[in-house]
A and B are shown apart, each in its own frame.
Chain A
Amino acid sequence: MATTTTLINSEACSSTTTLTDLTNVNIVSNEQNTIDSKPVAIFDDEKLAILLEDIKKDPSLTPLPHVSDHAQIYNALKTRIKSINDDTCAPGEENSFFVCDINELRNLYKNWCTELPRIQPHYAVKCNPQHELIKILASFGVNFDCASKVEIDTILKLGISPERIVFANPCKVGSHIRFAEQNGVEMTMFDNVEELHKIKKFHPNAKLFLRIATDDSTAQCRLSTKFGAHLSAVPELLETVKDLQLNLVGVSFHVGSGASDFGSLYKAVRDSRWVFDIAVNKFELPPLKTLDVGGGFQLASFKESSKILRLSLEEFFPESTGVNIIAEPGRYFAETTLTLATHIIAKRKVNEDEAMIYINDGVYGNLNCILFDHQEPTPRILYHNDQFHYDDFQSTSALSTPNHPYKVSIWGPTCDGLDCITKEYYMNRDLVVGDWLYFPNLGAYTSSAATPFNGFDQHVDTIFINQDL
């Protein structure tokens, strides 16, 4: 046993330099495309804003209302719940469970291929690492983006080739880099000089992507505050790549999850072109081969973001350049594919029309997206008073209305004050213990981080539907 005082200099682990953000400079210039200047772009900020406005108004890009396969989902939910006998069920039988619609996944992949045929998707495993989901995506031809050793291990154990994995975390622990090297995972990211030294030490032949920062100020989940090198840091990084004789193969970026201003996509592709150009022209590195356009794709805005992306690629990376394009979608594939059903295990009346409802899942389980992903899941009444109400899509409301007289707060099963699903929601029925709620479109960043504890298994069953269509 020992006691020590340890000094840690976190600056020595990775760069903390604050640099000027160059992403908002006017990109139209009369000067020629010299090695240090931005590539000449068709759209300056003003024209880009007009273009984005036009795209928003384009009726062909208006997203159709997303329609789930309600009949099959309802059937799966009903069958499962009817099979549970409250009086005789074994422990765990009444646990929360997911319904996963494989046909939804299939349709999403087809939609991806239609909208972005040039782009090879690498599914972000962190979004939902359910094995069945991964196996099905792999069978479609989707590859994988892993953020950690555990995720790489998951993919490899499913028999998927390491060549289909990109280790897309620009700040990795040394042991994770060693693990990637030992298991043949070659593609990885960096955004700081110290990371390059770690890679040189543990994985010198890795195929490297330089991750650049983007303007993600309109994103729901901003990532550039965590990851990505600002453009002014790029020359130093390229110099280090050259000095260490590392194998730079491409550039990556991520505009953040749930972005609403897709001008950031255009700017990020333009900035990537600049990195491609100076890597060769100024630093005499071999031509880069791949652009990783990251993730953040959402079904609701997919047509719009795809259109901008296609335009950007056509301008800066036309097919004639021979550059491979890859992406890291997670939420796009997982979100609408899964529905969560939970059981009401306790109720505390606050007054005649207000109650605290306790369900058997929460932020320590499959609803951890509330803490980690800013999500506000929508509860709907599934089962009440011996009847199913799946089809009543107006059974709940976030706002008080005459049709929703019962105010509830919904809590997870632990005694922890943090375990709150919603502090205020309104129901059209006075729920009681034994009723069920369901949460539609709850597949993204949910079961990924759920952990078993003290015998309370937080990993729940998943019922797969529409597997054989």
Chain B
Amino acid sequence: MDFQIGMRDIYNNNNNNNKIQTQQLMEFYWDIILLIESQFLSKEITYNQFKQFRKFYLINNVSTKLNNITNSTKLISSHWRSIADNYNLLYFNNIHNTTTQHCFVYSKQINQSLNIIIPLTFTKQFHNIIQNNNLKNWLISLLELTDKLNCLDLKLYLHRDLNWNDINSVLKNLNWISGKIIMNDNNDHFNDLNLDDSLLTDENFLILQFDI
């Protein structure tokens, strides 16, 4: 990927075909997938359930996804539960330069929908964005990223335990940039969820959608 509008893929600069590095990269990729998917874990799950999620749910579903890619089977779902086509850790250079703590925002691209997850670990940076009047620029940069990835919509998942005043700042006048609030998938509405699926929920987040 080569972003011309203020974005670049830093992995490109470090790509090396060395076998050991490839193995490490594979582990790194698995960690990213686990990290991002586990954002949707229900708060109530036990450690054993987490292991179940990691060992069976995630590995099985990623395996199915890879088989589908190999067999050129096109899946049309862009639901947040789906294993993504791309997982990204997003690093905001200008924001991180002002803090000592480096935290990422996560994204999973499913078909033409980009889901960007603002985790609880981003609380301080999120607060800085709001306090420094950088919200507009930050949102526009996410929208431009969405456009550059040829996605048709951006869903922004704001962790509900982020500072409420900061969340409120985002909500106020959001319709100026075509943002709208989306209801959570209440798990109660899904009668056919299997046990593994019920480990995941989007109710940890307030979800905003922007059309590109």
Q: Answer yes or no: do A and B interact.
A: yes
- With both chains docked as a complex, state the minimum distance between the C-beta of B21 and any C-beta of chain A, in angstroms: 15
- Residue among A1, A372, A418, A445 making CB contact with B66, cutoff 8 Å: A1
CB-CB contacts below 8 Å: A320-353 with B: none
User: What 0/1 readout, one digit per residue, does chain A (1-35) give for beta carbons within 8 Å of chain B?
Assistant: 11111111111111110100000000000000000
Query: Is B144 interfacial (CB 8 A cutoff)?
Result: yes
User: Which segment, of B47-55, B179-187, B192-200, faces chain A?
Assistant: B179-187
The answer to whether B206 and A9 touch across the interface, beta carbons within 8 angstroms, is: no
Q: Is A453 an interface residue (CB 8 A)?
A: yes
Bound: A268/B10 CA distance, A: 44
Q: Determine if A449 and B144 form an interchain contact, defined as CB atoms under 8 angstroms apart.
A: no
A2 touches B87 (CB 8 A): yes
For A244, what are the chain B residues with a Cβ–Cβ distance below 8 Å? none
**Across the interface, which residues of B come within 8 angstroms of A147, CB to CB?**
175-178
Given contacts A3-B86, A10-B94, A221-B172, A174 and B144 within 8 Å (CB-CB): yes
Q: Give which listed residue, B28, B29, B90, B175, contacts A8 with CB less than 8 A.
A: B90
* CB-defined contacts of B93 to chain A, threshold 8 Å: 7-9
Q: Interface residues of B toward A: which range? A: 35 or more
Q: Are B175 and A11 touching (Cβ within 8 A)?
A: no
Question: For residue B104, which residues in chain A have a CB less than 8 angstroms away from its CB?
Answer: 5
> B140 near A: Cβ within 8 Å?
yes
Grouping DSSP codes into helix (H, G, I), strand (E, B) and loop, the A interface class, with mixed when no group exceeds half, is loop
B26 CB to closest chain A CB (Å) equals 10
CB proximity of B4 to chain A, nearest CB, Å: 10
Q: Decide if B176 touches A454 in the complex (CB within 8 Å).
A: no
CB distance from A115 to the nearest CB of B (A): 26
**A6-B9, A10-B138 known; A221-B173 Cβ under 8 A:** yes
Question: Given A9, A150, A454, which contacts B92 in the complex, CB threshold below 8 Å?
Answer: A9
Q: How far is the CA of A179 from the CA of B46 in the complex (A)?
A: 49
Given the contacts A5-B91, A7-B91, A10-B6, A169 and B176 also touching, CB distance less than 8 Å: yes
Q: In the assembled complex, which residues on chain B have CB atoms less than 8 Å from the CB atom of A16? A: 94, 132-134, 137
Contact between B184 and A416, CB atoms less than 8 A apart: yes
Establish whether residues A174 and B5, one from each chain, have CB atoms under 8 Å apart when the complex forms. yes
CB pair A448 B181 closer than 8 Å:
no
Of residues 45 through 77 on chain A, the ones whose CB sits less than 8 Å from some CB of chain B are none
B84 in the interface (beta carbon within 8 A): yes
- Does chain B have a CB within 8 A of A376? no
Of B69, B177, B183, chain A has the most CB atoms within 10 Å of the CB of B183
Contact across chains for B11 and A5 when beta carbons are under 8 A apart: yes
* Residues of B participating in the A interface, judged by any CB pair closer than 8 Å: 1, 3, 5-11, 28-29, 32-33, 62, 65-66, 69, 83-95, 104, 107, 132-138, 140-147, 168, 171-186, 188-189, 206, 209, 211-212
Knowing that A9-B94, A12-B141, A449-B174 touch, tell me 10 more A-B residue pairs with CB under 8 angstroms: A5-B10, A6-B9, A7-B7, A8-B7, A9-B7, A16-B133, A147-B176, A173-B212, A226-B136, A451-B209
Residue contacts A-B, CB under 8 angstroms, 17 given = A3-B87, A3-B89, A4-B88, A6-B7, A8-B141, A9-B7, A12-B7, A13-B140, A126-B175, A148-B211, A174-B5, A225-B133, A226-B176, A372-B172, A372-B181, A415-B186, A416-B184
